[in-house]
């Protein structure tokens, strides 16, 4: 089992979950290239300490991944996320870390004999759709990327589709607005939570009318593990998101309610390319994966706030890494020990 992006938000939880299920995991990332290196290094250390995990620092855009020769499944979560940071100089970074890295990874997989090629789960994003209209986005909807990041994800999907035509078993998972413990500092709920805990106004881009299919990382991991275990049609895309979008203003109300505080809002300029609405049609995920998101936003935000508070407490205490890991593992939002909904990931064979 290979998990790329294992020092990142979603990738670290996927690696944790496979380890907890008893699989051997090659965790791959380049944490020194992360825009948030302190968080990446801390997460990297936590993942590397898991049973059965071997951590390898590899820049996929440079080296590809020859280690796939020993794997039956590759979950490709590495890349440079974020709409806001993909403009300007960030465009080249998104091209390098998303498109070039994926091209090299897929080439490494295609380099194996046909019968020994791994199944490759490729992370995509709801941003490929642009903004949803009056109905949820289905996987066969036209793609309308509105930012360099979204364009890079469309290109990643194209590469995975071409590889599927050449015989590689690729599956595209389009994740929708993922949140939960270990969320990146640039993401909305992380920014809101830290501001509220500091007693600062919450920075909100635009007028707060945007809505999202907010999806807890626990549910995302469950879908990813099932996709890794199932024989799905090569090149297929599957939406992984909550099917009930929530407005940003309503989400802030839930978050401040969990915190038990009142918070001021500081309006900031809208982000170019940021969708007005994301809305997932999950009928394909239900049909092929037997999956649906089960974590409500209030419950999920409670998990995330507990993580923020615990990290702050441990940081103030100056505790060593071992205690930080123990604290993180004890949080209700930790997904590593919770199996997928139907347990089908137990069928994944490790090379």
- Which residue is catalytic, options 129, 149, 175, 179? 149
pTM score: 0.90
Which regions in the chain score pLDDT beneath 50?
320-351
Strands 236-240 and 73-76: unpaired
The pLDDT value given to residue 223? 99
Q: How far apart are the first and last CA of the chain?
A: 7
Is 149 tagged catalytic? Answer: yes
Looking at 3.40.630.30, 2.40.50.100, 3.30.565.10, 3.40.50.720, the CATH number of the domain 2-179+214-243+279-294 comes to 3.40.50.720
Q: What is the secondary structure of 168-225 as a DSSP string?
A: -EEEEEEE-SEESTT--TTSHHHHHHHHHHHTPPEEEETTS--EE--EEHHHHHHHHH
Angle of the 321-329 helix axis to the 37-48 helix axis, nearest 10: 80
Burial of 246 (0-12, 13-18, 19+ CB in 10 A): middle
Q: What is the pLDDT of residue 209?
A: 86
- Residue pair 1/76 in contact (Cβ under 8 Å)? The answer is no
**Domain spans, the chain:** 2-179+214-243+279-294
pLDDT value for 328: 46
Note the maximum CA span of the chain: 60
- How far is the C-alpha of 341 from the C-alpha of 187, rounded, in Å? 27
Q: Where does residue 208 fall: left (phi above 0), alpha (psi -120 to 50 degrees), or beta otherwise?
A: left
């Amino acid at each position: 089992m290979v998990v790329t992006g294992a020092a990142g938000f979603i990738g670290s939880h996927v690696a944790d979950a496979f380890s907890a299920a008893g699989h051997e995991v090659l965790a791959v990332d380049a944490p020194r290239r992360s825009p948030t290196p302190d968080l990446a290094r801390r997460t990297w250390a936590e993942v590397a300490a898991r049973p059965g995990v071997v951590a390898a620092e590899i820049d996929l855009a440079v080296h590809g991944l020859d280690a796939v020769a020993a794997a039956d499944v590759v979950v490709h979560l590495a890349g440079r996320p974020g709409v806001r940071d993909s403009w300007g100089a960030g465009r080249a970074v998104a091209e390098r870390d998303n498109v070039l890295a994926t091209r090299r990874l897929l080439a490494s997989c295609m380099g194996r004999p046909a019968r020994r090629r791994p199944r490759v789960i490729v992370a995509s994003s709801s941003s490929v759709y642009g903004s949803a209209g009056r109905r949820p986005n289905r996987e066969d909807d036209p793609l309308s990327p509105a930012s360099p990041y979204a364009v890079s994800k469309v290109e990643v999907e194209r590469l995975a589709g071409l590889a599927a035509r050449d015989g590689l078993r690729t599956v595209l998972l389009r994740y929708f607005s993922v949140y939960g413990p270990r969320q990146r500092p640039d993401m909305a709920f992380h920014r809101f939570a830290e501001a509220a805990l500091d007693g600062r106004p919450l920075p909100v881009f635009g007028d707060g009318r945007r809505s999202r299919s907010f999806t807890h990382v626990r549910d995302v991991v469950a879908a990813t593990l099932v996709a890794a275990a199932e024989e799905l049609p090569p090149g297929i895309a599957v939406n992984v998101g909550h099917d009930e979008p929530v407005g940003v203003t309503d989400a802030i109300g839930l978050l401040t309610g969990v915190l038990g505080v009142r918070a001021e809002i500081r309006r900031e300029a809208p982000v170019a390319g940021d969708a007005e609405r994301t809305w997932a049609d999950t009928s394909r995920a239900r049909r092929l994966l037997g999956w649906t998101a089960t974590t409500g936003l209030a419950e999920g935000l409670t998990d995330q706030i507990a993580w923020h508070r615990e990290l702050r407490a441990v940081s103030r205490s100056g505790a060593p890494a071992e205690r930080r890991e123990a604290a993180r593992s004890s949080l209700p939002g930790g997904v590593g020990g919770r199996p997928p909904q139907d347990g089908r990931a137990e069928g994944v064979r490790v090379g």
